[in-house]
Amino acid sequence: MEMLIKMHTSDALQQIFDLLHSHYGPLDWWPGDSPFEIMVGAILTQNTNWRNVEKAIDNLQAADLLSLEKMNQQPSESLAEIIRPAGYFTVKAARLLNLCRMLKERWHCDLENFLQQSKDTLREELLMVKGIGPETADSIILYAAEQPVFVVDTYTHRILSRHDIIPEEYDYSEIQETFTDNLEESVSLFNEYHALLVQVGKDFCKKSKPDCESCPLRVLLPAT
C-alpha cells in the first residue's frame, strides 16, 4: 500500500521558486521604464495579452502621453482611440483617467510622495479608484512603489490549484496569504516569483492546452 504525504506549503512554494528560477533566471520585471508607465501598463494588461498592451503603450509614447499631467488633459474619447489595441479601450481609458484624476486631486501629481506611503494606505487609496482592483493595486505597489506585496493572478491560481497546493475555490486574499505566510517578506523575491509564475503560465500552463510534459514544474505532481 502506497502513501502520498502532502508536502508542507512552505516547502512546496520554495521548491517551485527554485525550479522556476533555475529554468528562467532573473526576468527583470516590470517591463516599463517609469513608475507612471508601470501604473498605466498595470491597468492596460487587465485580462489582456501583454503583446497588445505593448502596442497601446507604443501609441501613448508616440503621442507623448506617458506623463501624468499630459494624460490627464486628454479627453477620454481620444485616449481610448490611442489605447485601442489593448482591448476594452473605452473602459480602460476611463480607468486611466480615474487614476490620473485621483493623483492630481489628492497628490497634486506628486507620484514620488504618493508611492512612498506605507503599502497598506497605498493599497486602500488605489482600491478607491474605480477600475483598480486587488491585482492592479498590488502590481502597482510591488512594481512601481517597490514595496513587498505578493501579486496574485489567474496563472498563480491555476498553477497552485492544479498542483494541489491550494483548493480550487481559494479567492484572491486566500492565495495571497498562502504566499505571505510562507515566504520571507522581500521585494526582490515577490517581484521575481510573480514574474516567474506568469512566464511559466504563458509557456506551459495555458487554460485549455497545458504542456505538462515539458513544464519545469513537472516533478511536482499532480498537475494538468
Which residue blocks in the chain are alpha helix, DSSP H? Answer: 9-24, 35-44, 50-62, 68-73, 76-82, 89-107, 111-115, 119-127, 134-139, 154-162, 172-180, 187-204
Asked if 138 and 123 count as a contact pair (C-beta separation under 8 A), the reply is yes
Asked whether position 14 contacts DNA by CB under 7 A, the answer is no
Of the residues 143, 150, 179, 193, which one makes contact with DNA according to CB under 7 A:
143
Asked whether position 131 contacts DNA by CB under 7 A, the answer is yes
Grid cell, residue 199, equals 512566464
Asked whether position 150 contacts DNA by CB under 7 A, the answer is no
- DSSP letter at 182 equals T
Can you tell me whether residue 219 is helix, strand or coil? coil
Asked whether position 87 contacts DNA by CB under 7 A, the answer is yes
Of the residues 62, 73, 75, 91, which one makes contact with DNA according to CB under 7 A:
91
Asked whether position 108 contacts DNA by CB under 7 A, the answer is no
Of the residues 36, 114, 150, 155, which one makes contact with DNA according to CB under 7 A:
155
Q: Which residues bind DNA (CB under 7 A)?
A: 29-31, 41-42, 45-52, 55, 84-85, 87-92, 129-137, 139, 143, 153-155, 198, 201-202, 206-208
